[in-house]
Structure 1
Amino acid sequence: MSVAERGPAVARTVPPPVPAPRRTPVPSRAVVVVAPLSLAIALGLWGIRRKDTMWGDESVTYQLAHRDLAQIWRTAQHVDLVHVLHYAVMHEVFGLFGAGLLTLRLPSVLATAVAASGVGLLGLRLAGPRAGLLAGLVFPLLPQVQKYAQEGRSYAMVCALVTWATYALVVGVPHRARWRWAVYGATMLAACLLHEFAVLALVAHGVTLVVSRVPRAVLKAWSVTAAGVVAGLLPLVIRSAGQSEQVSWISGPVRLPGLLAVAVVGVACALAPLEARGPVRLPVLAVPIVVLPGLLLLIASLVKPLFVDRYVLYSNIGIALLLGAWMDHFHRRQRSSRNTWIAAVAVLAALVPPSLSLRTPQSRSDDVTAIGAAVREEGRPGDGLLYLSGRHRILTAANPEDTRFLTDLALAQDPVSSNTLAGVELPARDIAARMLEFDRIVAVRAASAHSPADPREEAKTSTLRRHFREYGTTRVDGARVTVYVRDRAPAP
């Protein structure tokens, strides 16, 4: 057989060329930082005004930040000492940029963005660039993070500080430089001074180091640093313990099912064979942050109810890391990126309804803007104004124009001059006597409130019952505004 005749047979035995697998480009460090930060800012600015409404806790921040630093400190001796650093920070922010609704909330937006970039860097260091990028992008998408990114309170700032303290911890383990531990301790102490329950993250960090079996020198350095943080926080804890009345509204765990669901998802993600880099594995860092702070707060609630989900907002750092690492693992296992895209689109679609809902006034437990507007609408110049109870005076204090033409019947000394949140009220006898001088009274009562067993509150309710009749009630988000008119034939 000739060579020409054997040619086709040889050609048929040569296998077709196999195309090289397409490798997904690895994101750079800059992308891991900038992309989450940009997404967090965009989500934070989206609908940030919530139709120009404000809720009760934000109203407290707004009012106290308008006072000077000495007044803030004197007020904190009576109430809200745990938030005094935040009020001082917001006072300075108002002084620099003006006191408005955007100024009230923008620090939380920026803090969330800083936290998102920190989560990205944590993921990069613990599980690689793609896992870091995904974790950083997941973090600002989490509904609870979106909610508190648009609130004039300290929770987003605490979350940012805990994020970067965690990053300083992870970086400090292999290097063991003293200045790194000093940075870690200072950042954690700042977070704890903004809100005491940030100290629970310190416990999670300790568990991470023990489980990771780091060298004894590292454990000793962390122990010394943690002791310094606790010592710095202790005076605030002792002084604020006498103000436990301010959390008396907590009768049981607030929004516990959501936190439990997050913990279950986080533990499920941790069971996957996630990529590990360095002496601290990502699941060993993330799971304690997700589980321990909430669990410890629940245990403390057996003695006194304290559990509110926003107090441990920083637990979302752990769930974002776990979800980012799990998605990276899922992507690496898939031969085609089609399934990855389908999963990503499904998750984004599921997040749309809660994201829209969080940007409405109804997403908060009350709306002090609507309450003040109802008082202004129902009241006539010269009417009496009554708060049931007196501590709910803060519900209309954000905009004094709403109550300008009404007479506060129970007020003896205003909140600013008395260095309190709600002012000082008259004795019960004087309140009843002043009420009888008016033919119309506008009464404000929080929707879920029960009047405390106090002589002043009893005088208000008994005088209304005996000498006035209800003319009409307006129900708004978080309160009832009722107009009472004088009944000239009082009931016995």
Structure 2
Amino acid sequence: MESAPPIRQLQEAAIRRIAPWRPLPPLLAAVLGLWGLERDGGMWRDESVTWQVAHRSLGGIRDLLGQVDAVHGLYYVLMHGVFQTWDGGLWALRLPSVAATALAAAGVAAVAHRLAGERAALIAGCVYAVLPPVQMYAQEGRSYALVAAAVVWATYLMLRERWAAYTVVLLIGCWLHEFAALALLAHAFTARHSRGWRRSAATVVVLLLPLAVVSVRQAHQQLGWLGRPSWQDWAAYAVVGAASLLLARGAPNDLVRVALPLVLLPPGLLMVISLVNPWYVDRYVLYALAGPALLAGARAAAARGRRAWVAAAVVLLVPFGLWSTWLRTPESRKDDVLAVAAAVRERARPGDAVVFMPSRRREWLLSSPDVYAGLRDPALAASPAASHSLQGTERSPERIRAALLASPRVIALLDPAGEPLDPYPREAVKREVLAGSFDLCSVTGVRGARIAVYARPGGCATR
């Protein structure tokens, strides 16, 4: 009778079974994420929200979530822990997204490996890592890369029928951003006949309901800035969907049943809903891009004439390379709050007032407290922390008028020219007072913003 192999031999055999390609997709994602992570020192306003909320106390975060932004609550708590552990500025703000993107790329490879083999896994994981939107949110201090990682790994756990782990992982994704629940629609096409999946899906829905109830109450102030999907949104959806349908031809059926619903259903349903209630932003369903990555990996691996795929990859390197380089500049985002703060610092004098038009642009200075503290904010009634809000609350129009008229010099922070003006009385009175009682000394454009300096008549030349 043969003796059992020694434990050391079993361990060595297990190590040999770990294919050498497996670290490549997450490694590629990590390298791309770390490349230019600071974006030349830029930070846009959504990241600024993360920065200033995560620096509040846990009690302050709890009070905020009762009023607004409950949908991001778990992420804010996570980032609070990150900054408590290491207040590393932009690196601490963005490294969780880099790590999550690497984890998602590994998950895409794991799904492809199970459904289409090793070659498909390597290609699919790398394709996911290099997709420009994936690279973009890998370097952003928001929750979307983390949500994508949770959905991708939940998909893998679904294929393994690990229902307890599936429930936990997908629920984490949903609590990071509740639109991750749309992945359940995609998963239903693969696992709807499984009693285990139905129980898991029901558990996720039930445990997500408290967050859904709170966030629906906050939806008007949370998503009121959104419009209905534009023709560009529909065009992008059509292009990605058509490309995915083409890639699905000849791909393994099991993989198609996972990938196509993932790329088509969550964004498609959210866009249709947004025709009535505008809730669609492409980053809310970033995880859908795992679908085309899976299909591309399977098709490339199965292709006989691989020269065509190599040629296609080489052709794509140029536009993808240019796009990737641009994504690592401040110009790739809507604005740059740190550049705005630096420009205000250059123009500010002791005793100057600062007015935000509209008030939600107060976010431009909240992440630069050294600049904001040196200015008077005549419109502010209660600070963000004191009012349990993101940008604070403002005084009545009459009090704003009186406070502005008592200011000899005002720095106004405005949206770029051509943006629609808020019709609210508080915003209207700011515009009225500045136009009627002040001279416009200068206007400077900064990325995504304008900084206008006003002075009482004859005061522009005063130094």
- Aligned to 1:110, which of 94, 99, 124? 99
- Which of 175, 180, 184 is the equivalent residue of 1:193? 175
Give the direction of change, closer, same or farther, for the CA distance of 1:470–1:37 in structure 2 (3 Å limit): same
2:41 aligned counterpart, secondary structure:
coil
Relative to 1, partners in 2 of residues 1:125 and 1:31: Cα closer, same or farther, differing over 3 Å? same
SS where residue 444 of structure 1 aligns? Answer: strand
User: Among 321, 336, 361, which residue is 2:294 paired with?
Assistant: 321
User: What is the CA-CA distance between 1:113 and the residue it aligns to?
Assistant: 0.2
Q: Could you tell me how far 1:321 is from its partner in structure 2?
A: 0.3
Counterpart position of 2:156: 167
Residue 406 of structure 2 corresponds to 437
Q: Quick check: 1:364 aligned with 2:333?
A: yes
SS in 2 for 1:307: coil
CA contact (8 A) 1:33 1:118 kept: no
Aligned residue for 2:265? 292
Judged with a 3 Å threshold, the aligned counterparts in structure 2 of structure 1 residues 449 and 82 are, in CA distance, closer, same or farther, namely: farther
Deviation, structure 1 residue 72: 0.4
Pairing 1:485–2:455 present: yes
Tell me the residue number matched to 2:46.
57
Q: Deviations over 1:73-125 (max 9, x none)?
A: 10111111100110000000111122411000000000000000111111110
Letter in 1 for 2:215: S
Q: How far is the alpha carbon of 1:221 from its aligned partner?
A: 1.8
Q: AA paired with 1:314?
A: Y
- What amino acid does structure 2 have at the position aligned with 1:306? W
What code does the residue aligned with 2:171 have? L
* 8 Å CA contact 2:439, 2:458 repeated in 1: no
SS of match in other structure, 1:314: helix
Q: Distance in 1 between matches of 2:307 and 2:425?
A: 69
Map of 1:177 onto structure 2? none
- 1:39-98 deviations in Å (ceiling 9; x for gaps): 000000001100011001000000000001110010111111100110000000111122
User: Could you say if the C-alpha distance between residues 192 and 487 of structure 1 is closer, same or farther in structure 2, counting changes exceeding 3 Å?
Assistant: same
C-alpha deviation, 1:338, in angstroms: 4.5
Aligned partner letter, 1:390: S
Task: Point out where structure 2 has 5 or more consecutive residues left out of the alignment.
Answer: 1-15
Q: Which amino acid aligns with 2:430?
A: K
Q: Distance in 2 between matches of 1:300 and 1:291?
A: 14
Number of matched pairs: 440
Contact 1:28–1:129 (8 Å) recurs in 2:
no
Distance 1:462 1:412, change over 3 A: same
Q: Deviation digits for residues 111-165 of structure 1, max 9, x if unmatched?
A: 0000001111111100010001110111110011000000000000000000100
CA shift, 1:356, in A, is: 0.8
Q: Which residue of 2 aligns with 1:233?
A: 208
CA distance in 2, matches of 1:61, 1:351: 29
Give the aligned partner of residue 11 of structure 1: none
8 Å Cα contact 1:259-1:309 kept in structure 2: no
Preserved contact between residue 41 and residue 110 of structure 1 (Cα < 8 Å) = yes
Mind listing any 5+ residue stretches in structure 1 that lack a counterpart? 1-26, 173-179, 211-215
Counterpart in the other structure of 2:186: 204
Structure 1 pair 86–407 and aligned structure 2 pair: CA distance change class (3 A): same
Q: Are residue 456 (structure 1) and residue 423 (structure 2) matched?
A: no
RMSD: 1.8
TM-aligned CA deviation for residue 339 of structure 1: 4.4
- Mapped partners of 2:343, 2:76: distance in 1: 28
Query: Given that residues 275 and 329 in structure 1 are in contact (C-alpha distance below 8 angstroms), is that contact kept between their aligned partners in structure 2?
Result: no
Q: Are the structure 2 counterparts of residues 90 and 76 from structure 1 closer, same or farther at C-alpha, using a change threshold of 3 Å? A: same
Cα distance in 2 for partners of 1:309, 1:339 equals 31
Q: 1:250 aligns with which of 226, 245, 249?
A: 226
Q: Does structure 2 conserve the Cα–Cα contact (< 8 Å) formed by 1:32 and 1:136?
A: no
User: Once structures 1 and 2 are overlaid, which stretch shifts more, 422-431 or 227-236?
Assistant: 422-431
Partners of 1:198 and 1:306 in 2: CA distance: 13
Aligned: 1:263 with 2:241: yes
* Matches of 2:405 and 2:147, distance apart in 1: 49
Distance 1:130 1:338 in 2: 15
Identity value in percent: 44
User: Is 1:426 matched up with 2:400?
Assistant: no
Determine if the alignment matches structure 1 residue 100 to structure 2 residue 70.
no
Deviations 1:5-58 (Å, cap 9, x if unpaired)? xxxxxxxxxxxxxxxxxxxxxx96443431101100000000110001100100
**Structure 2 residue matching 1:183: 3-state secondary structure:** helix
Question: 1:329 Cα deviation (Å)?
Answer: 1.6
1:396 aligns with 2:365: yes
341-350 or 355-364: bigger deviation = 341-350
- 1:305 alignment counterpart: 278
SS in 1 for 2:381: strand
Paired with 1:110 and 1:166, the residues of 2 have a C-alpha distance of: 19
C-alpha displacement of 1:441:
0.6
The residue matched to 1:480 in structure 2 has which SS? strand
**Match for 1:425: what amino acid?**
E
Structure 1 SS opposite 2:200:
helix
Decide whether the 8 Å contact of 1:41 with 1:113 is kept in 2.
yes
Contact 1:286 1:319 in 2 (8 A): yes
Q: Does 1:380 align with 2:356?
A: no
2:65 maps to 76
Whole-angstrom distance in 1 between the partners of 2:309 and 2:451: 52
Contact 1:266 1:287 in 2 (8 A): yes
Question: How many Å apart are 1:414 and its aligned residue?
Answer: 1.4
Secondary structure, counterpart of 1:487 in structure 2: coil
Secondary structure (helix, strand or coil) at the match of 1:98 reads: coil
How far the C-alpha of 1:389 sits from its partner, in A, is: 1.7
Structure 2 SS opposite 1:51:
helix
Work out whether residues 54 and 367 of structure 1, in 8 Å CA contact, stay in contact via their aligned partners in 2: yes
Q: Aligned partners of 1:406, 1:340: CA distance in 2, in Å?
A: 58
> 1:345 corresponds to which residue?
314
Greater shift after overlay, 224-233 or 428-437?
428-437
Change (3 A) 1:449 1:75: farther
Mapped contact 2:158–2:191 kept (Cα < 8 A): no
Whether the 8 Å CA contact 2:381–2:394 is kept in 1: the answer is yes
Q: Which amino acid aligns with 2:265?
A: L
TM-superposed CA distance for 1:426, in Å, is 1.7
- Letter of the 1:165 counterpart: A
Give the structure-2-normalised TM-score: 0.91
Aligned-partner residue type, residue 243 of structure 1: Q
Change (3 A) 1:455 1:183: same
CA distance in 1, matches of 2:324, 2:301: 24
1:304: Cα distance to partner? 1.1
Which one has a bigger Cα radius of gyration?
Answer: 1
**TM-score, scaled relative to structure 1:** 0.86
